[in-house]
């Protein structure tokens, strides 16, 4: 199975949170009332555009561009099957929290999104 993983960023709002796919900025964005609704909507819109991409129905500007991202606690990733355009699984971005003491770096520990 060929898979692809996209990174998404949630921007909290007063009534709704917006979600932007950082790898597919020109097409994949949505909103939701909470994290779960945002994730569900992001899956739905990504499956739609991934089907269009697989069938060569998108212009060059609408195609995804995989880029490296700095990790952020407001980010999560969704993986999709490239053959069927169906959602496979999700992961939370893990941040490496570096702790510094007086002139001595202490080993970092990992924290998750939620």
The enclosing domain of 29 has a CATH number of 3.30.160.250
- pTM comes to 0.74
Per-residue pLDDT of 44-71, as tens digits, reads 999 999 999 899 998 888 888 877 777 7
Q: How many domains does the chain have?
A: 1
Chain segment 9-50, per-residue pLDDT in tens: 999 999 999 999 988 877 788 999 998 999 999 999 999 999
Which residues have a Cβ under 8 Å from the Cβ of 88 and sit 6 or more positions away? 3, 79, 80, 81
Range of the domain at 63: 3-111
Q: Which pair of tokens denotes residue 59?
A: 């212009």
């Amino acid at each position: 199975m060929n898979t692809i993983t996209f990174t998404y960023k949630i921007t909290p709002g007063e009534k709704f949170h917006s979600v932007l796919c950082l790898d597919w900025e020109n097409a994949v964005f949505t909103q939701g009332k909470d994290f779960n609704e945002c994730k569900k909507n992001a899956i739905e819109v990504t499956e739609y555009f991934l089907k269009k991409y697989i069938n060569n129905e998108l212009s060059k500007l609408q195609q995804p561009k995989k880029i490296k991202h700095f990790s952020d606690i407001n980010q999560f990733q969704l993986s999709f099957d490239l053959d069927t355009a169906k959602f496979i699984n999700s992961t939370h971005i893990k941040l490496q929290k570096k702790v510094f003491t007086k002139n001595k770096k202490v080993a970092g520990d990992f924290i998750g999104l939620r």
